Amino acid sequence: MKFDNEFFSLGYIDRLSYKETFIHNIDARVKLAISLVFIICVVSFPKYEVLSLIPFFIFPVVFLAVGEIPLNFVLKRIALVFPFVFFIAIFNPIFERKVAFYIFNIPATYGMLSFFSILIRFVLSVSMLILLVATTSFSGICYALKYFRVPEIFITQLLFLYRYIFVLSEEAMRMVRAKDMRSFGKKGTELKFYVKLAGTLLIRSILRAEKIYYAMLARGFKGIMPYRKKRIFEKKDFIFLIVSVLLLYVFRFFDVIKLIGRIFVRGL
């Protein structure tokens, strides 16, 4: 039985999200909205578009550099999810053999184009997501969701869930370690043990929820989570929003790459 070390990355991203950089300090609502629009723009390109996707990289690059997020970290996360998408995308060049054009007598098929398109979309959308989360505190994201009218109970859920993942995962990890230390490498009745472990954890969780409930009652809880903080929308947030939207619009509907290329070629 193995405890997934993914848990540690949760803690790592969480700590990254509390840094103090320009990007971190941009209002969470703006970042969330921009990320969503970004992903929609990227994903809305026709199937065989490859080059037009490239300018979009400016967003992850800026977020990464200004936000001081380690590149290795982002790459590792992308690499983790990459195989799945690759496995599905690889069918494109296999099934679609019609040739689009030739580069020095080497055929480039439509299948290849859509293959690369998928991969680039993938890298763009995943990195944007990772960077959004790495530069925005989780409660900030929840606040943004609340602002966009996501139901109260769901937000409360997210906050509680996030809060207690750390607590419960540690409990689970302790139980797994304790078992491993007594197993001497034998794998025997793993499933049986998992059930016992999960069952025990389940009961402990329910009991803990009860205690939390009592703690809430003790502090006057009457059914609705009290909420207060209003984050102010500053000038820099507004500028960031406008610039981003403009860029996204231009990148999406204008052939920036060919424009630049043409200027350069003509200039030579």
Partner 1 sequence: MHMADALISPEVGISFWALSVGGIAYSAKKLKDNMDDKLIPLMGVLGAFVFAAQMINFTIPGTGSSGHLGGSMLLSILLGPYAAFVVMASILTIQALFFADGGLLALGCNIWNLGFYTSFIAYPLIYKPLAKNGKNTFLATLLSSIIGLQLGAFSVVLQTYFSGISELPFKAFVMLMQPIHLAIGIVEGIVTTAIIRFAASVKPDILEGVYNLNNQNTTGSMKKVILMFLILTFVVGGFLSWFASSNPDGLEWSIEKVYGKPELPEKEGGILTKIKEIQEKFAILPDYTFKKVETKETPAQKEEEKYPNIDVGTTVSGVVGSIMVILLLMGTGFLIKAFKKRTV
Partner 2 sequence: MSHHIIKFEKVEYEYPDGTKALKGIDFTITHGESVGIVGANGSGKTTLLMHLNGYILPTSGKINIGDLVLNKHTRQEIRKKVGLVFQDPDDQLFMPTVHEDVAFGPLNMGFDSKKVDEKVKKALEIVNCYDLKDKPPHHLSGGQKRAVAIATVIAMEPDILAMDEPSSNLDPKSRRALINLLKSFTHTKIIASHDLDMILDVCERCIVLKDGLIVADGPSLKILSDEKLLEENNLELPLRLQKK
- Region 229-248 residues binding partner 1, contact defined as CB under 8 A: none
Phi-psi region of 42 (alpha: psi -120 to 50; beta: other; left: phi over 0): alpha
Give, as ranges, the residues between 156 and 185 that touch partner 2 (CB under 8 A).
159-160, 162-164, 166-167
Cβ closest to partner 2, residue 109 vs residue 156: 156
Q: In sequence order, what E strands does 4-60 have? A: none
Cβ closest to partner 2, residue 77 vs residue 208: 208
Q: Are 111 and 93 contacting, i.e. CB atoms less than 8 angstroms apart?
A: yes
Among 14, 68, 96, 255, binds partner 2 (CB under 8 A): 14
Phi-psi region of 149 (alpha: psi -120 to 50; beta: other; left: phi over 0): left
In the shown chain, the binding pattern of residues 97 to 136 toward partner 1, with x for contact by CB under 8 A and - for none, equals: -x-xxx-------xx--x--xxx-xx--xx--xx-xx---
How near is the Cβ of 12 to partner 2 at its closest, in Å? Answer: 13
How near is the Cβ of 188 to partner 2 at its closest, in Å? Answer: 33
Cβ closest to partner 1, residue 125 vs residue 237: 125
Q: Are 265 and 257 contacting, i.e. CB atoms less than 8 angstroms apart?
A: no
In the shown chain, the binding pattern of residues 89 to 128 toward partner 2, with x for contact by CB under 8 A and - for none, equals: ----------------------------------------
Q: What whole-number distance in Å separates Cα of residue 40 and Cα of residue 93?
A: 24
DSSP 237: H
Give, as ranges, the residues between 173 and 232 that touch partner 1 (CB under 8 A).
176, 187, 190-191, 193-203, 205-210, 212-213, 216, 221-223, 225
Q: What whole-number distance in Å separates Cα of residue 116 and Cα of residue 49?
A: 9
How near is the Cβ of 180 to partner 1 at its closest, in Å? Answer: 11
Q: Are 125 and 39 contacting, i.e. CB atoms less than 8 angstroms apart?
A: yes
In the shown chain, the binding pattern of residues 30 to 69 toward partner 1, with x for contact by CB under 8 A and - for none, equals: -----xx--xx-xxx-xxx--x--xx-xx--xx-xxx-x-
Cβ closest to partner 1, residue 3 vs residue 232: 3
- Biggest alpha carbon–alpha carbon distance for the chain: 77
If contact means CB under 5 to 8 A according to the sort of partner, which of partner 2, partner 1, none does residue 147 touch? Answer: none
Q: What is the dihedral of CA 236, 239, 245, 248, to 10 degrees?
A: -80
With CA atoms as reference, report the closest residue to 52 among 64, 42, 61, 62.
42
